Structure 1
């Protein structure tokens, strides 16, 4: 599971380390801005200190990470690759006036499609509304020769343009990529490309018929398949070499094979080879074997994620979106996460949940702070700041998990957000402003560490319970559970004892930041009149609102009106911690027992509805700051040099590529599904 950024404009306001500051001097983080997005770049400190063998390993792994871009784009919607290719052809061949509003708005739309890996917003899941005219698009598309349009076999240019008109300009056609609305058919009403010709009832019936509920080691059903109906029968089509996405997966495998030759140790080589076997066979048993091997190998400095991982893009939380990331250990910063993981059993024992739902023996919890070398697939351009894998509950229980906090990404967010004015605008008083400026850098990083390392790794399911029983609320509840575990334990004196905190008030900065964001700030990301639909936003809202409502009798959290503005005031941090503990116990019970109705009630009652007046106020106040609600990244560029025998002699990293330049290059060099 992954932890997304809580509030890029607030996180990490205190002084960064002298090493980071030295690295940041004269580095231009800001690359581009359009619509509601700001594009940044990140540094890769420490890359030059890697050995040539490690650099070569990173190089081939980055190639494998970039080659899955088309897979994710196609998973998001069946027309995405055609739309992207058409827009790019128009952009490259445009000869008209580039000062017109139509052209300028066309470029913004293209940049949005690149950023979201498709025609739906990466966070809200709503279809983009183009601000350029259909007449402009049709004229430019008609001017292109058929060879420069991605026509399907037997498709005429006229019929293709008519289809693109519907896909791009009809707001009712494929309106939402992932629909989580209660009471609707979530498969039929979602525009993603994970299902075709089937209903939610048919999909659930199909998996119920093939699942073995007595299996203590179940595979991750549906993780790497598209579910379709053929000859009236529901079937799965696997993503593998020779199956769906074969052209891309074959190239990924080719680069994984090259990377395998440069593995840091035999255990790492073994899990790379096992991943290749999974891609070749499509077997989820093999994927479990790979996940176990990957989780247990903790000695190497270079590591990576590559495959069908997170299921936020599936309304039923089954199919994994393709994701790639390459990283290496930040040894100095990993001391913090090492202390946390070494004390995982203490925190599990101290958790306020029912003992029936606790792990008696926490296995193999490892955590490290990493430097991201490349982002790909579902982690690009928008990326998480923390990851905990594998996602399989039984593998976590028996073999443990790996957690990472991506420090160079958070550093980039922090540096680009300095002086934004958000804290001063929304914090209740100078007390809260100073609290966050003094402590939030460390407090927020620790929240990410504990969310990933301890939160997702905590607790257990009762025998016979399937995590899939929570259906469309599964991801929201799991992210809320991990947040609550971290929030509750951040106030534990154990952190002072371990030397992670030196001041007992440190946790308060994250408490205030979390509640402020959950109840107010995150509303800046929602269009007027909309409710909350994205899983992470729902989880932050239900946690914050539940605590606000339950704490009213003791006035734990107060919403104060002053000069026509609303502010959050926390009156009792100790009681707020107690509320976090109560809610953690309930969410863990819901997960451990598979209580769908209780989970549904919690999310729908506390995590979905938006107060329209408060929403309007937040949007107006945030607009005055002139900030982009969403941020993402361009990748650094890696260039390898080779000798006459084809061996890598050096790898250099550069930060000189712009957003449009990178996107066009990726479409040219890393798009095997569009060739």
Structure 2
């Protein structure tokens, strides 16, 4: 939580202490603290939302989460015990303060749990730390940066997550003049994690599980990212695991610099029936890759020069998540995020079936679809979401060859006869130099462009009858393949509009890469799709309605998606960040009519998900799973009984 904001751990403790102070009997606080039932309900709603986001900024969009309760009412509630009173005193100012409005580089409007300082820390200083880290071969994923003043001079501290504290054995604590490595960030929590993982090793299902658990422990104990990479090399080979896990500093979405990763953990139980369908998809994946816009017949087995010679179909599993720890409960993941491991050892796709299933809810509001199509939209959206997620993870994240100088003078492509770019019909002129990676070259663009490419690919393939047939959707099924194709374009419009809710107008920045991608795809189709999608804007009614011209899906929609997809893919493969930025960033800009649309969207905010999760308890030789009431109170109780 301290990766989100400095005050988040204190807010968590305050909520836990309040629960214990009233013994979970929240209603007693009305009389005992002299507050109204409305004030109590508002606080409980805030507490549950905070726990579901594990911080006081929303996991989706990164806007600040502020309770709809006055400081006076909060102080009355906190008076229930000396401990809660003292706890509130520590957090009440940052808890209620606005600005900051969102997460981002520290400024008057934004803050970041990755960049800490009493005095402003600049982007130049952050870049300076990154430069030194690159020279010292220190990975950024499990680090934060803190600026302090010592003897009147600024000192930059690189905080590295580890259970161990103190300097390294070799004593290399000073990285550069005025810059130091400080180990032991999150040390108390990581020590508990290591202890739990040691116990988990006793129940490992095979040697591979025991190995990656050992590497996990080494990473979290010492801070070694090399150990974490070793864990991932073993983890990807533990295929068809009955119990699946994701653990570590995984995704860099919330770091404004796009390199420092958020702690995530997931435990899930495999869904055997759904895995059978996914395996059929995996087995057919090479066939679909040959149908991508850059495929060349007769070259590289029909896949073309911008794909790996051998597509190693990854493990693809569907699980019922038992517990997820993170700022969001994600729908799916394709890991690891290390390209060299993906190319040499493979990757895994994990779909959270019970998370995806909540999209099938006819009571969810949708403001952007015409009333005549609303029932159709609601009955098909969860299917579209599942199918596009499967394509997104397997083909979207699984494809692409980065043309690289793998070592000085050695290349993974014919340097003397470079491949022809499908974008201009000329030989490519750029590639990754020795030591460069996708992330180091594209920087902040890397995360959003990669997600964008995967989302585009999933939508591009939704007209493929063979692919949809694997999952039982044909022209003879109850919901037909044609229905799902039309629903896909409706979803492109709806997702693109809804994404505007997550645009930070004050900082002119996107809070989440997936929302940025959805908006950019809609904007591209509006500009390039020749009327495939249009948005009816009723100024008087303050309404926006998505319209799809079904007659143009094949003739205009798919070619337009293919053009955008090809550009991003080829630029990614050839390290052409300049061309990518020049084309991509204007399509992410929210200006003109899009700003007018944004104002309407934020006036009708989408429902924020709150998930109550079970706990497990060991009773003798048995494990008991305890579910909780689906309510704000149930969410709070589940976290209290997790006893962390």
**What aligned pairs does 1:290-305 form with structure 2 within 5 A after superposition?**
290-305=231-246
2:351 — aligned with what? 405
Residue from 149, 163, 180 that aligns with 1:241:
163
Q: Deviations over 1:303-348 (max 9, x none)?
A: 1112111111111121211111111211111122112222333333
Q: 1:519 to 1:657 in 2, by over 3 A?
A: closer
Unaligned runs of 5+ in 2: 23-28, 165-183, 296-303, 405-432, 476-480
Residue from 123, 132, 140 that aligns with 1:200:
123
CA shift, 1:639, in A, is 3.0
Residue from 281, 285, 292 that aligns with 2:222:
281
Is 1:480 aligned to residue 452 of structure 2? yes
CA shift, 1:85, in A, is 2.6
1:126 — aligned with what? 63
2:553 — aligned with what? 573
Residue from 41, 53, 56 that aligns with 1:116:
53
Q: Is the 8 A contact 1:390 1:401 kept in 2?
A: yes
Is 1:366 aligned to residue 294 of structure 2? no
Separation of aligned partners in 2, 1:435 and 1:140: 46
CA shift, 1:508, in A, is 1.0
Residue from 341, 351, 365 that aligns with 1:395:
341
2:36 — aligned with what? 99
Size of the aligned set, in residue pairs, is: 557
Separation of aligned partners in 2, 1:604 and 1:278: 36
Separation of aligned partners in 2, 1:589 and 1:442: 30
Separation of aligned partners in 2, 1:609 and 1:196: 29
Q: 1:206 to 1:189 in 2, by over 3 A?
A: farther
CA shift, 1:481, in A, is 0.7
Is 1:534 aligned to residue 457 of structure 2? no
Q: Is the 8 A contact 2:48 2:610 kept in 1?
A: no
Q: Deviations over 1:376-433 (max 9, x none)?
A: 233xxx311111111111211222111122112222342xx224463xx643474x55
2:420 — aligned with what? none
**What aligned pairs does 1:410-429 form with structure 2 within 5 A after superposition?**
410-414=356-360, 417-420=361-364, 422=366, 426-428=368-370
Q: 1:661 to 1:150 in 2, by over 3 A?
A: farther
Is 1:271 aligned to residue 212 of structure 2? yes
Q: Deviations over 1:596-654 (max 9, x none)?
A: 4444444542224163443454566x57xxxx522121112323211xxxxx2343443
Q: 1:420 to 1:659 in 2, by over 3 A?
A: closer
CA RMSD of aligned residues (A): 3.2
Unaligned runs of 5+ in 1: 1-72, 152-159, 180-184, 643-647
Between 1:536-545 and 1:235-244, the stretch displaced more is 235-244
Q: Is the 8 A contact 1:327 1:371 kept in 2?
A: yes
Separation of aligned partners in 1, 2:211 and 2:108: 41
Q: Is the 8 A contact 1:364 1:399 kept in 2?
A: no
Separation of aligned partners in 1, 2:403 and 2:10: 46
Residue from 580, 588, 592 that aligns with 2:569:
588
**What aligned pairs does 1:216-365 form with structure 2 within 5 A after superposition?**
221-229=139-147, 232=154, 234-242=156-164, 243-353=184-294, 355-365=304-314
Q: Is the 8 A contact 2:33 2:80 kept in 1?
A: no
CA shift, 1:212, in A, is 6.4
Q: Is the 8 A contact 1:404 1:449 kept in 2?
A: no
Q: Is the 8 A contact 1:447 1:510 kept in 2?
A: no
Separation of aligned partners in 2, 1:670 and 1:301: 26
Q: 1:433 to 1:418 in 2, by over 3 A?
A: closer
Q: TM-score, normalised by structure 1?
A: 0.74
Q: TM-score, normalised by structure 2?
A: 0.78
SS in 2 for 1:296: coil
Between 1:292-301 and 1:472-481, the stretch displaced more is 472-481
Separation of aligned partners in 2, 1:650 and 1:90: 29
CA shift, 1:530, in A, is 8.9
Q: 1:149 to 1:224 in 2, by over 3 A?
A: farther
Q: Is the 8 A contact 2:456 2:561 kept in 1?
A: yes
Residue from 81, 95, 102 that aligns with 1:176:
102
CA shift, 1:253, in A, is 1.7
CA shift, 1:76, in A, is 0.5
Q: Is the 8 A contact 1:538 1:608 kept in 2?
A: no
Q: 1:640 to 1:367 in 2, by over 3 A?
A: same
Q: 1:454 to 1:131 in 2, by over 3 A?
A: same
Which structure is higher in RCO with an 8 Å CA cutoff and minimum separation 6? 1
2:496 — aligned with what? 519
